[in-house]
Structure 1
């Protein structure tokens, strides 16, 4: 089962745990997301027809990113647009997360290897606003 992190009716993230299994193909994102996330489980011998992707003009306003945790443990902290902590989740080996909106920060709980995929080109200092995030002590 996948998990959706939502706050005030807004989707912050989609988490696909390493244990997720389903036959066929399953898209987790709506068609209008600039980053699409799907899971596929196909049997031996199944063929995906050769294809090319057509040039389609797209406008990307907000960066969405996908992280694949290869090893270790990572805590993800979610923040609203006012930079207030909302909630946290721990991720482990094989977990995948799509960060769709809101703010986020990470603490490496055990040395981790992480693969990140996001839209480009990278906009340098204009790409993000950094802030000091505070989690309530009772939840740290």
Structure 2
């Protein structure tokens, strides 16, 4: 299962559920995303030729992060660029999410282990603006 969280004309997130499976390779992100996300399933003996990556200067305007839910259960709250709450989803062990635009917050429903991957270098206080989370009575959760 693949789900995109879209607000207006922006992809806020791409979610790959733990049971997604497909032969070959599939990229889920548009070519212009600064963080690229793909799934690969190859048969035994398949060879990816050794390679090096060329030096290519890129301009990163938004920090896009990928979270791998290694263990547990977490609620992800989505906000637009003006910090207005939109909706929430629940992710579980094995799920993967790319956070591309808008705001987001998290509440651990169970003890949770997450592996995070994002662009660097980290810009410290310039990297993000923190704000108050949505009131718990307004949460609209959907299981993905």
1:135 Cα offset (Å):
4.2
CA distance in 1, matches of 2:135, 2:26: 34
Q: Aligned with 1:77: secondary structure? A: strand
**Once superposed, what is the RMSD of the aligned Cα atoms?**
1.1
**Correspondences of 1:1-80 after superposition (within 5 Å):** 1-80=1-80
1:138 Cα offset (Å):
4.7
Q: Aligned with 2:63: secondary structure? A: coil
Unaligned segments of structure 1, at least 5 residues? none
TM-score for the superposition, normalised by structure 2:
0.94
1:133 Cα offset (Å):
2.1
CA distance in 2, matches of 1:135, 1:67: 24
1:9 Cα offset (Å):
1.9
1:8-30 deviation digits (Å, cap 9, x = unpaired): 12110000000000000000001
CA distance in 2, matches of 1:86, 1:130: 17
Other-structure match for 1:102: 102
Aligned length: 140
